[in-house]
Chain A
Amino acid sequence: MNKIFEQFGTHRHAALILLMLLLAVVLPLGLDIFRLNLIGKYLSYSFVAVGLVMLWGYGGILSLGQGVYFGLGGYCMAMFLKLEASDPVSTKIQTTPGIPDFMDWNQITALPLLWQPFRHLPLALLAVVLVPGLLAFVLGVAMFKRRVSGVYFAIMTQAVALILSVLIIGQQGYTGGVNGITDLKTLLGWDIRTDRAHYILYFVNVALLGLVILGCQWIQQSKLGTLLLAMRDKEDRVRFSGYDVASFRTFVFCLAAALAAIGGAMFTLQVGFMSPSFVGIVPSIELVIFTAIGGRMSLIGAVYGTLLVNLGKTYFSESFPDLWLFLMAALFIGVVMAFPDGLAGIYSARIRPWLLNRRGIQAASSVTQAGNPARP
């Protein structure tokens, strides 16, 4: 029993509980539904950031193509919602009723085979995780088995992001092109555009995020987490100890992809559309920046980083559109140069010892905290 309390009282759990209190109690009480929906949108990005902490912070693999998986997840969800929104009755003015409007505009007369599985919600939900996961698996196996890593891996993932965004924009009849998939209305007859639905989706999002972070913390504390760290720092030693480095890397890459996809699906549900502007290179790098600013070693930090950067972006691009890019540039450079461990690094290196000192507790206990190891 004591052990459970010890576990419960650890730093990481306290941080998670604090985050959940903020997201599930403070923000819903303090913000109107429009702002809360905006926060929900940012939180859907934070799934990707949490995945990147596992992939980049723990695995040491930087992917510049997480937008791909975010987008694929979002598109899988959007395809289902779009099919539901384009039932034969509401699309009877089209040449071919019952298919999405953009297909009709592009002279497509039957639903393409690719879209057929998305008539069913269970299949669509499965696809949200499986399609990005499978892509990540194929790419991961192909690259990690040949020991592509570091910079080259980053460039390849970036190329995938470019390919997918060009493909989606080019194949307008099948994907909705630049506009993406818009006008999503209902989920199994439940209108997702009402305030009530926004509230419910927000809480679903927060709960999912909490579960995802718990799961990732569990992985970090397990042997797998230790191995990931070991592979990041001394890849060859782990390989010589008999571990298959490629498989572990593929696993964490798939994990990050699946998390990003969940985020994408939540994004589609809350915002009501999906477009290629979330797939390409620029959004993918922005996702990395959220993680870097929050702290690439901290799951909780990544969520705060995502929220802060996006709030800043919304505020500055509304009030000082010219300044925003400069500020973003300064953030990038400043974080990389001065605070490689981001907000979480600042917290655990400066603020936490100071707080502990004030409370008269020996600062030495803070050193034991995992997740602040020497940088490679």
Chain B
Amino acid sequence: MSPSELFNIVIMQGFAGFSLFSVLLLMGLGLAIIFGQMGVINMAHGEFMTIGAYTIYLASHLSETFAPGLMPYYFPPAILLAFIAAFAVGWLAEWLLIRHLYKRPLDTLLATWGLSLGMQQVFRSTFGPKEVSPTLPDWLLGSWSPMAGLDIPINGLFVMALTLVVCAVVFLAMFRSRWGLRVRATVANRAMANATGIDTRRTDRITYAIGCGIAGMAGAAFTTIGSTGPTSGSLYIVDAFLVVTFGGAASLLGTIASAFSISQVQSIAEFFLTGSMAKVLTLSLILLILMMRPQGLFASKVRR
């Protein structure tokens, strides 16, 4: 194997890691908001991702049957739809369920696990137990080869770009908007935030819904690299929680760093070992590091 071939393999394997990185990061970002900021253990997070993925599938199906001419353009608006769908369901879930449980974080875990079971069954009854995948527009398929022997899939590039945009928007919203200010104030000191006139209940609801919405966009990204089944989301839920915990629960920057390191370690290990052993190795490494340093990579300075 020549050095240039080896270089290409490293780049491509690294890029495969980037696709995983994008999905993990989008999942992690939503969870970092819900779990890191609000302290709600959202076990249904994976199902919100699945909602997003099924929304894309529905959009592709509808445009294929009713407006084939729109096929090249449906994807971007469908991502927005995925966000809205997951946002709406999240809003409803918060109103019906989560808001009664803020004082009992471990119980949110059980309740949202129940929620996720129910949602999985809804998916199964609606879309069938088989995995489905949307018909992707042509411009998402194929690959970009900047030089001979090096193929970078376009859908991976697209997902990367999407992730970057979402990250930027989340950061702007969190640190430059009134909503972000209210969220941070509520997290830092709920009673004081209430006293200064912030409607913390409303803030909670919108925050939870936005976290779910981002999970929906993760689902949209997921459709470009895998097919969607009723239980697809639950495959990512532990990884997503580890991403957030490993990054340091209250730190968005930590979430990015940990999603990056986890996905890269896993994809590099996959090159040398079997898939399952790579996963075992990655998870064990994270667990070991978390045992040494329980607060995660970026510890928050919030006083609790």
Instruction: Tell me if B238 is interfacial: C-beta within 8 Å of chain A.
Output: yes
Instruction: Tell me if B247 is interfacial: C-beta within 8 Å of chain A.
Output: no
Residue of A nearest to B40 (CB): A151
Given contacts A62-B109, A281-B238, 12 further A-B contacts (CB under 8 A): A143-B294, A152-B294, A154-B109, A159-B241, A322-B124, A325-B120, A329-B115, A332-B117, A336-B101, A336-B111, A336-B114, A337-B97
Bound Cα distance A152, B304 (Å) = 15
Instruction: Tell me if A285 is interfacial: C-beta within 8 Å of chain B.
Output: yes
Q: With a CB–CB cut-off of 8 A, which chain A residues contact B110? A: 288-289, 292, 332, 335-336
Q: With a CB–CB cut-off of 8 A, which chain A residues contact B238? A: 155, 158-159, 162, 281
Q: With a CB–CB cut-off of 8 A, which chain A residues contact B141? A: none
Bound Cα distance A265, B115 (Å) = 32
Which size bracket describes the interface of B in this complex? Answer: 35 or more
16 pairs across A/B with beta carbons < 8 Å?
A147-B294, A151-B109, A155-B242, A156-B291, A159-B242, A163-B280, A166-B276, A166-B279, A166-B280, A322-B124, A326-B121, A331-B114, A332-B113, A333-B118, A337-B101, A375-B104
Bound Cα distance A139, B290 (Å) = 11
Cross-chain contact A285 with B113 (CB below 8 angstroms)? yes
Which residues of chain A in 266-319 are interfacial with respect to chain B, using CB atoms and an 8 Å cutoff? 281, 285, 288-289, 292
With A163-B283, A167-B276, A170-B274 as given contacts, are A62 and B294 in contact (CB-CB < 8 Å)?
no
Instruction: Tell me if B277 is interfacial: C-beta within 8 Å of chain A.
Output: yes
Q: With a CB–CB cut-off of 8 A, which chain A residues contact B291? A: 139, 142-143, 146, 148, 156
The 8 Å CB contact of B107, one of A64, A148, A156, A336, is: A336
Bound Cα distance A160, B283 (Å) = 8
Which residues of chain B in 248-279 are interfacial with respect to chain A, using CB atoms and an 8 Å cutoff? 249, 274, 276-277, 279
Cross-chain contact B279 with A340 (CB below 8 angstroms)? no
With A159-B287, A332-B110, A336-B110 as given contacts, are A150 and B105 in contact (CB-CB < 8 Å)?
yes
Q: With a CB–CB cut-off of 8 A, which chain A residues contact B109? A: 62, 64, 151, 154
The 8 Å CB contact of B287, one of A151, A163, A288, A332, is: A163
User: Which residues of chain B have a CB within 8 Å of any CB of chain A?
Assistant: 35, 39, 41, 97, 100-101, 104-107, 109-111, 113-115, 117-118, 120-121, 124-125, 238, 241-242, 245, 249, 274, 276-277, 279-280, 283-284, 286-287, 290-291, 294
Which residues of chain A in 103-151 are interfacial with respect to chain B, using CB atoms and an 8 Å cutoff? 139, 142-143, 146-148, 150-151
With A62-B106, A155-B242, A159-B287 as given contacts, are A326 and B118 in contact (CB-CB < 8 Å)?
yes
Cross-chain contact B280 with A155 (CB below 8 angstroms)? no
The 8 Å CB contact of B41, one of A151, A159, A325, is: A151
Instruction: Tell me if A19 is interfacial: C-beta within 8 Å of chain B.
Output: no
Cross-chain contact B276 with A332 (CB below 8 angstroms)? no
Interface size on A, residues (CB 8 A): 42
Q: With a CB–CB cut-off of 8 A, which chain A residues contact B115? A: 329, 332-333
Q: With a CB–CB cut-off of 8 A, which chain B residues contact A62? A: 106, 109
Q: With a CB–CB cut-off of 8 A, which chain A residues contact B284? A: 163
Bound Cα distance A39, B250 (Å) = 45
With A62-B109, A332-B111 as given contacts, are A156 and B279 in contact (CB-CB < 8 Å)?
no
Bound Cα distance A139, B291 (Å) = 8
Chain B interface, >50% SS class: helix
Cross-chain contact B117 with A328 (CB below 8 angstroms)? yes
Bound Cα distance A148, B291 (Å) = 9
With A336-B110, A336-B114 as given contacts, are A322 and B125 in contact (CB-CB < 8 Å)?
yes
CB distance from A244 to the nearest CB of B (A): 18
Bound Cα distance A146, B280 (Å) = 24
Residue of A nearest to B114 (CB): A332
Q: With a CB–CB cut-off of 8 A, which chain A residues contact B97? A: 333, 337
Interface readout for A76-109 with B: 1 if CB under 8 Å, 0 if not?
0000000000000000000000000000000000
Q: With a CB–CB cut-off of 8 A, which chain A residues contact B105? A: 150-151
Residue of B nearest to A141 (CB): B291
Residue of A nearest to B105 (CB): A151
Q: With a CB–CB cut-off of 8 A, which chain A residues contact B107? A: 336, 340
The 8 Å CB contact of B114, one of A147, A170, A328, is: A328
Bound Cα distance A326, B106 (Å) = 22
Cross-chain contact A152 with B111 (CB below 8 angstroms)? no
Residue of A nearest to B107 (CB): A336
Q: With a CB–CB cut-off of 8 A, which chain B residues contact A326? A: 118, 121
Cross-chain contact A160 with B101 (CB below 8 angstroms)? no
Bound Cα distance A155, B35 (Å) = 12
Instruction: Tell me if A208 is interfacial: C-beta within 8 Å of chain B.
Output: no
Residue of B nearest to A143 (CB): B291
Q: With a CB–CB cut-off of 8 A, which chain B residues contact A169? A: 276
Q: With a CB–CB cut-off of 8 A, which chain B residues contact A167? A: 276-277, 280
Q: With a CB–CB cut-off of 8 A, which chain A residues contact B242? A: 155, 159
Bound Cα distance A144, B146 (Å) = 52
Q: With a CB–CB cut-off of 8 A, which chain A residues contact B106? A: 62, 150-151, 154
Instruction: Tell me if A204 is interfacial: C-beta within 8 Å of chain B.
Output: no
Bound Cα distance A155, B41 (Å) = 9
Cross-chain contact A160 with B287 (CB below 8 angstroms)? yes
Bound Cα distance A147, B124 (Å) = 41
Instruction: Tell me if A330 is interfacial: C-beta within 8 Å of chain B.
Output: yes
